[in-house]
Structure 1
């Protein structure tokens, strides 16, 4: 019986260590400055917070607030540790994508390949559209500028 207990504990701890080793974002509580900035910008919204390390040496921290805009629309607001908004991503339907981007997608990808579409505004107030595509078992972000002109395709892991 004691051996069964130790095996169970070993398996559980191995599972937890494996989870930590993956790129999963854990739910966190951000600093007060970050929470205050979010609440000021998006009053009444309830976010789920996660953190991510970015930069050349993974030395910068970003806090992501994922929340529902309404029953069908999700958004993400990304802040640095001082509460400065770095990016905003809003889920949008295909019909809200600029016409030229829709034409590009129809020409180059099957309709079922499109998995998600987002309007993204970065800290410089630059607007882009990112379309998540799944093709040949890989996931890509196809990026368009604010006018819907193709910019770049980025393979995601």
Structure 2
């Protein structure tokens, strides 16, 4: 139990640091359609907004609303420029990962290598799990399917 608490505490702290370190994006004020959609879905939450260009030619814009769910949990809601939610990411503890994913992580990574974990639901209602790990001075996002099966590892800058 003590180990799980330590891992969760480290994860929470690392999540904050990782978010600060990776967000070289400037904060923005989203279009009203986007802001209203967020406020309708998450009343009373105060987000910090960022924009990101995606797509094959970086021709699609996404607005990212990062906010605190509570004192220990962070979330990210991503919208297109018309206010349609494209994805939702919620920070979770190790115990909320599917058992298959937990087993994979324990077999392949030391506990201190695990930096952040989240459940992600996209606009097609597909659920995946993302685990940020650090290995050999590089940061990777490990993607697991809804059952915890390992899917892919993506190196992040």
1:36 match: secondary structure: helix
Q: Which residue of 1 aligns with 2:151?
A: 151
Q: Which residue of 2 aligns with 1:33?
A: 33
Q: Which residue of 2 aligns with 1:133?
A: 133
CA distance in 2, matches of 1:73, 1:23: 18
Q: Which residue of 1 aligns with 2:80?
A: 80
C-alpha displacement of 1:146: 0.6
TM-score by length of 1: 0.85
Structure with max Cα Rg: 1
Gapped regions of structure 2 (runs ≥ 5): 1-21
Q: Does 1:112 align with 2:112?
A: yes
C-alpha displacement of 1:150: 0.9
TM-score by length of 2: 0.85
Q: Deviations over 1:77-135 (max 9, x none)?
A: 00000000000000000011111100000000111000000000011110000000000
Q: Which residue of 1 aligns with 2:16?
A: none
Distance 1:23 1:75, change over 3 A: closer
More relative contact order in 1 or in 2 (CA 8 Å, sep 6+)? 2
Runs (4 or more) in structure 1 with deviation over 6 Å come to none
C-alpha displacement of 1:156: 1.0
Q: Deviations over 1:26-58 (max 9, x none)?
A: 000000000000001111100000101111111
RMSD of equivalent CA atoms: 1.2
1:78 match: secondary structure: strand
Aligned residues: 136
Q: Deviations over 1:51-78 (max 9, x none)?
A: 0111111111100000000000000000
Q: Which residue of 2 aligns with 1:10?
A: none
